[in-house]
Amino acid sequence: MADNLTTNDKTVLFVSSAGGHLSQLLQLEPWWKHHQRHWVTFDLADAHSKLSDEPVTFAHYPTTRNIPNMFRNAGLAFKVLRRLKPDVVISNGAGVAFPFFVVARALRIPTVYVEVYDRINSATLTGKLCKPFTTEFLVQWPEQAEIYEGSKLVGALY
């Protein structure tokens, strides 16, 4: 992560879909457990069980190619980002990430996007949409680094 995120007094906003996206961000616990954090995900059973002891805001679902929910989540992003004033927004997708990255960029809040582990040879839609609004774009495979110009290879996060 960025050098300015190594101290323990940072507030991190994690934004992701439930399921595998959320599970992958939870793999970063050795890093995020030292920071104040808040999660944005969907109001689904796995999110409730995985984040039972964490502060969570539930986003509008579904997001995949759902334009009305994209706008609803943009409004939610504005409210959450203005209230929490996080030091960074971190996401690995999917669709819920995009409005949060757009609003974070407008509010000058740094963003970190981690491309998902299981998409090796082609770009994800969310990755393509979020990249222009991303401060740091991290990939887990060398093949992904070839797809996303200017990305940083960090290796597998599992």
In three state form, how does the secondary structure of the chain look? CCHHHCCCCCEEEEEECCCHHHHHHHCCHHHHCCCEEEEEEECCHHHHHHCCCCCEEEECCCCCCCHHHHHHHHHHHHHHHHHHCCCEEEEEECCCHHHHHHHHHHCCCCEEEECCCCCCCCCCHHHHHHHHHCCEEEECCHHHHHHCCCCEECCCCC
> Would 158 be classed as within a structural domain?
no
> Would 144 be classed as within a structural domain?
yes
Which residues constitute the domain of residue 95? 3-153
> Would 31 be classed as within a structural domain?
yes
Instruction: Output the pLDDT for position 3.
Output: 46
Instruction: Output the pLDDT for position 30.
Output: 92
Q: What radius of gyration, in Å, describes the C-alpha atoms of the chain?
A: 14
Task: Look at the chain and report how many structural domains it folds into.
Answer: 1
> Would 81 be classed as within a structural domain?
yes
pLDDT tens, the chain, 158 aa long? 444 545 567 999 999 999 999 999 999 999 999 999 999 999 999 999 999 999 999 999 988 789 999 999 999 999 999 999 999 999 999 999 999 999 999 999 999 999 999 899 999 999 999 999 999 999 999 999 999 999 999 999 86
Instruction: Output the pLDDT for position 62.
Output: 87
Instruction: Output the pLDDT for position 7.
Output: 55
